[in-house]
Chains A and B, each alone.
Chain A
Amino acid sequence: MSANHDSANLLEVRGLTKIFGTLTACNHVDLNIAKGEIHALLGENGAGKSTLVKMLFGSLEPNSGEIFWDGQPVRIASPGAAKKLGIGMVFQHFSLFEALTAAENIALSLDDGSPISSIAAKARALSYSYGLPLDPESLVGDLSVGERQRIEIIRCLLQTPQLIILDEPTSVLTPQEADKLFETLERLRSEGKSILYISHRLEEVKRICDRATVLRHGKVVGHCNPRQETAASLARMMVGNEVKAVVRAPAEGIETAPALLEIRALTRKPATPFSIPLRNINLTVRAGEVIGIAGVAGNGQGEFFESVSGEALQPEAGSVRIRGKDAGGMSITGRRLMGAAFVPEERLGHGAAPRMKLSENLLLSRHATDGKAFVGSGGMVKSAAIYAASQRIIEVMDVRKSAPDPEAAALSGGNLQKFIVGRELDRKPSVMVVNQPTWGVDAGAAAHIRQALIELARSGSAVLVISQDLDELFEISDAIAVMHNGELSKPLPIAEATFEKIGLLMGGAEPGHAEHTLETA
């Protein structure tokens, strides 16, 4: 079904502009959404997608521009006003209370005072009619991310919106869960509802969207029919130039290379009621290889990273071994001194202190390593040396910044990530553990970071990459293991791995089952 250009547009946006200080986040943006179409909003991180959507949903006020709803000029002053018009939104980051049931969470967002039981009944009916099975009585804390997203979608549908905005809905789903979501979206379209679909995954945009609007640096750079484009041509529109492909030569002689990082029967009890226990994890990363760990968010990746990095210690010293030595009882500093380096998922507040300069952030992970290069014997910080080293990293990693030595928070997410990865690469670590290396990083910088990780491995280091981006893992890994509910599957060599197999494991299929599927396929 193609978009109906003749009928009146449901939503029309003309010249919408939003300025933050010196940054023009949205610059005279035009956007038309017809009734009964799935419209993609494409753009890299920082292109202005979120800002535009926030203005449409009433949580940001535009500096100038007009919005027409069903041909009438409207002013959307608040999310409440947006809901009243018939605009619903499913956010990328869910706003659910884990200790409440699905129905209670839905009831909280509806302010009509109807009893929970009737809301639960309505939600159940709606969920089945749209093929989104959901038990309204279940506790959110017990639900998978995909199920939580269903709550958000049903919560949105209960308000019978005409336009549904979905912000990166598949970023937390397994491929199979994403397929289910697409069916629901197509069903909604057939009922005449419009959908604004925000994503940077080009294949799925090509698959389900009727039209696309592409944003770059806050400006609309084009409208197109994604089905007539290739993923490469869409990427070119988003980025503005060709993205360099990552080059990965096959690893050789890995089987006999020394094991630099070994995880042996790693088990961890949950530290909080909502954290995931780790169950008997075994993994070996050898010199020269990149091992990827796939998995839907919240399946124990964060807990696993903490255990490997030494932010959480293990009772069994042998459950983490670095370069052949037991490290389970060692602090993160001790593990760094053995040659390991770590990049956490969260950049601001974990990998970097937001209100400190980049040069000071260099010291964060390298105050004890590098001999006496950065900290003298009396505990005096060598500020000239850390400044020089941070400038070296900035140059190597092509970190774009506004001042010679800005605060970490002043950098864009992608540039800060380049600095944080570069800070560890600069040490030439023999073991590198990275959680979400390119989360929210633009395509050009992501390619740079991935290439650097591959090169580190090929120069003789062991690299472990935890990521929710399957494309990324297939691009850089020599083998992929899947983490599900605190368990880790056996790594599949990249030659044997397929999206389908990894997807099944991500959804919780028995490892044996995935093997079986491949054999019978």
Chain B
Amino acid sequence: MMRLELVKRPQRSALFSVLSPFIAFALTMVAGAIMFALLGVNPLNAFTIYFIEPISQVWQLHELAIKAAPLILIAVGLSVCYRANIWNIGAEGQLIFGAIFGSIIPVVFPGFEGPLVLPLMLILGMFGGAAYAAIPALLKTRFSTNEILTSLMLVYVAQLFLDWLVRGPWRDPQGHGFPQTIQFGDSAILPELMPDAGRANWGFVFALVAAVLIWLLMSRMLKGFEVRVLGSSPRAGRFAGFGFNRMVFFTFLLSGALAGLAGISEVSGAINQLQPVISPGYGFTAIIVAFLGRLNPLGIIAAGLVLALTYLGGEAVQSALGISDKVARVFQGMLLFFVLGCDTLIHYRIRLIGFAAPKLEGAPKLEEAR
């Protein structure tokens, strides 16, 4: 007759707001250990290979930064959307369109070189991501479509469009028929931060700067207040004089621009050309990063590094233990699951009801506590 009862807290718990991601991480570890054991691998050994070895040398930290940069850039943009209760699920597509727009100069005008090329590419990348994100925003404000569906479906449109581009009009004529564009010229390549130590490029710096700026916006500026009010109580937002449609565009354009910047940084810094697939699902993994970071831009920096590690770890266990690198996906999924689950602790207390409890029966009644 033991059972758990959720009791609503009068105020949200500051303690559990901070602890919840750590509890979620611990639970993910436990579940991961069980998974490795079931796969017939010593969990301790697997954890060492998965989480410790990929970051034990300086050059590996650079790889971590390369993976973390797009995750952080996209996630800080998404965090603004989600705070406003607007659900942009299509960052992957906005990343691709940022990459495509940013690649116009090195692919279509390869003769254009000089110090102006890179800034123009980055601006075009942000513009491309924002423009692509404007589509679900327009559909939502004009026709009240569900932005979750439209932004998600536009991801597949973007992927197929990129595929067509690199097989068709933008294919490298000297590329032996491979579906890829020409290599970018030197002035179109995002420089490495410390070329002697590793491959990490300026994309990581963009991510950190974006996180700090968005943190300032959300916590110190009227615009951030507007986002939070409209997200938590839309009617109070209208009473304050904040426009909902304006907010839909603001959040979609901002997150789209950051996803676009992530896309062009990835292509210009790490790949140096366009190919059919330019992202291992950064736009989707960033959703996990945003929630694991508590929709707080500073928390997102840490969360982005953790999720980047799951990618590296997946590759490591594949090569060392012969386990599929899909393990990375499993870890990411479990992490999101536990994060969302642990968030219950912020608003509810768990009470254990034992045998001795006086004549209480039936399912817990959440409405009781109101």
Contacts and interface: CB of A to CB of B under 8 A. Distances in A.
Interface string A399-422: 000000011001000000000000
B362 interface: yes
A60 B225 contact: no
A344 interface: yes
B241 A331 contact: yes
Contacts of A351: 236, 239
Interface residues of B, number: 29
26 contacts: A20-B369, A61-B365, A61-B368, A63-B358, A77-B361, A77-B362, A311-B239, A332-B238, A332-B240, A333-B241, A342-B239, A348-B233, A350-B236, A351-B236, A353-B229, A353-B237, A354-B233, A355-B232, A356-B228, A363-B240, A364-B239, A367-B222, A368-B241, A379-B223, A407-B12, A410-B10
> Closest 4 A-B residue pairs measured CB to CB?
A333-B241, A353-B233, A353-B236, A364-B240
B229 A364 contact: yes
A344 B239 contact: yes
Interface string B196-211: 0000000000000000
B182 to A, nearest CB: 43
Given A64-B358, A364-B240, 20 more contacts: A22-B10, A61-B368, A77-B361, A349-B235, A351-B236, A353-B229, A353-B232, A353-B237, A354-B232, A355-B232, A355-B233, A360-B225, A363-B225, A363-B240, A365-B239, A365-B240, A368-B241, A380-B220, A380-B221, A383-B220
Nearest to A367: B222
A189 interface: no
Contacts of B237: 353
Nearest to A20: B369
B152 interface: no
A342 B240 CA distance: 10
Contacts of B33: none
A20 B366 CA distance: 12
A97 B7 CA distance: 31
Contacts of A332: 238-241
A332 B12 CA distance: 31
A53 to B, nearest CB: 14
Contact of A410 (B11, B235, B238, B360): B11
Given A332-B241, A368-B241, A352 B222 contact: no
Interface in A341-390: 342, 344, 346, 348-356, 360, 363-365, 367-368, 375, 378-381, 383
B240 A346 contact: no
B239 A21 contact: no
A354 B236 CA distance: 9
B176 interface: no
Contacts of B361: 77
A351 B232 CA distance: 13
A367 B360 contact: no
A64 B239 CA distance: 43
Interface centre among A61, A354, A407 (most CB of B within 10 A): A61
B4 to A, nearest CB: 17
Nearest to B367: A59
Interface string A300-344: 000000000111000000000000000000011100100000101
B359 interface: yes
A75 B11 contact: no
Contact of A21 (B7, B228, B236): B7
Contacts of A380: 220-222
Interface residues of A, number: 44
A379 B359 CA distance: 57
A364 B358 contact: no
B221 A381 contact: yes
A365 B225 CA distance: 12
A157 B11 CA distance: 41
A364 B236 contact: yes
Contacts of A353: 228-229, 232-233, 236-237
Contacts of B241: 310, 331-333, 336, 367-368
Interface string A54-86: 000000110110000000000101100000000
Contacts of B229: 353, 356, 364
Nearest to B217: A379
B111 to A, nearest CB: 41
B212 to A, nearest CB: 15
A375 B222 contact: yes
B232 A75 contact: no
A406 to B, nearest CB: 7
Contact of A61 (B12, B225, B232, B360): B360
A214 B9 CA distance: 29
A44 to B, nearest CB: 19
A377 to B, nearest CB: 11
A464 B86 CA distance: 36
Most-contacted residue by chain B among A336, A351, A367 (CB, 10 A): A367
Nearest to A22: B10
Interface string B336-368: 000000000000000000000011111001001
Contact of A350 (B221, B239, B368): B239
A346 B222 contact: no
Contacts of B223: 379
B354 to A, nearest CB: 16
A459 to B, nearest CB: 25
A400 B163 CA distance: 63
A365 B222 CA distance: 12
A336 B239 CA distance: 11
A45 B362 CA distance: 30
A348 to B, nearest CB: 8
Contacts of B240: 332, 363-365, 367
B236 A75 contact: no
Nearest to A78: B362
Contacts of B12: 355, 407
A364 B10 CA distance: 22
A339 B362 CA distance: 55
A360 B222 CA distance: 10
Contacts of A309: 239
A344 B237 CA distance: 13
Contacts of B9: 21
Greatest chain A CB density within 10 A among B225, B235, B241 is at B241
Nearest to A407: B11
Contacts of B222: 363, 367, 375, 379-381
Interface in A193-208: none
A333 B362 CA distance: 50
A295 B237 CA distance: 28
Question: Which of B228, B240, B361 counts the most chain A CB atoms within 10 A?
Answer: B240
